[in-house]
Structure 1
Amino acid sequence: MLTYIKESVEELRNNVTLPSRAESSNLMVVVAVFSILFALATWGVDSAFAQVIKAYFGFLSGN
């Protein structure tokens, strides 16, 4: 287990490069925009299903 940890730390030090600050900022904006779009899409589908269910049960109860 200790060997695995040592090799992992060594690989992180030698083979992993972090993106620049500008690239990180750009990626953060992309993730935020897609998160908002996905949340809006989820809200829209949820609202549509809620209306369908209300209409279905209203039809069943005769209202």
Structure 2
Amino acid sequence: MAGVINYIKESFGELKNNVTWPTMAEGQSLTVLVAVFSIVFSLAIWGVDTVFSKVVGIYFKFING
């Protein structure tokens, strides 16, 4: 049990002293970047899904006559 407590203490020390945290402005700009990328990526997936759905519909309509 003492090993676990020591590990947790060392982990917090590592996070506090050795990790370089971004500034608030950097954090906000990166958050906006991730949000914009997520929206663009989701729209691209929606577009591919829509096109694929239409192609499959046309294919089955062609097969069934």
Instruction: Identify whether the pair has TM-score above 0.5, normalized to the shorter chain.
Output: yes
Structure 1 residue runs of 4 or more that deviate by more than 4 Å after TM superposition: none
Give the alignment's TM-score, normalised by structure 2: 0.85
The counterpart of 1:47, out of the listed 41, 45, 50, is 50
Give the alignment's TM-score, normalised by structure 1: 0.87
Structure 1 residue 9: Cα displacement: 1.1
List gaps (5 residues or longer) in structure 2: none
What RMSD, in angstroms, separates the aligned Cα atoms of the two structures? 1.0
Return the alpha-carbon distance in structure 2 between the equivalents of residues 57 and 14 of structure 1: 62
> Which amino acid in 1 is paired with 2:10?
E
List gaps (5 residues or longer) in structure 1: none
Instruction: State the match for 1:3 in structure 2.
Output: 6
Identity percentage of aligned residues: 56
